[in-house]
Amino acid sequence: MTRAATTSDVFNAIAEPQRREILVLLRAGERSVAELAQELGMTQPGASKHLRVLREVGLVRDRKAGKQRLYGLDASGLRPVHEWTGCFEQFWNESFDRLDAYVKDLKQTRKAE
């Protein structure tokens, strides 16, 4: 089975660590390509390519500000990821509940010894 094109799938887009780091940086507010490239220690063309992918999947928006373009986070694009990971919430809650019960039982056993 072939993978979906990175530019059309939010899961593939955020699979790349530097793209995730861009999203983290944009949580604090809009940034230019130059600022992002400098903070990430990459070239401006490299940052631009990552931003293009993020923009195409709806995670980043851009606007013209004078001679530069500013990029900002559009977290609504993360909805599919949030919904998918939310499916595992019950699993983790049950796992933590079992762990909590195990620890309580272990403490009771040690007190009884």
Instruction: Dump pLDDT digits (tens) for 18-51.
Output: 999 999 999 999 999 999 999 999 999 999 999 9
- With respect to residue 105, please indicate whether it lies within any of the assigned structural domains: yes
**pLDDT score for 90:** 86
- With respect to residue 1, please indicate whether it lies within any of the assigned structural domains: no
Full domain range(s) for residue 36: 6-112
CATH number, domain at 46? 1.10.10.10
pTM of the prediction?
A: 0.74
Burial state string for 42-72 with b = 16 or more CB within 10 A and e = fewer than 16: beeeebbebbebbbbbbbbbbeeeeeeebbe
Instruction: Dump pLDDT digits (tens) for 43-102.
Output: 999 999 999 999 999 999 999 999 999 999 998 999 989 888 888 888 888 889 899 888
Q: How many domains does the chain have?
A: 1
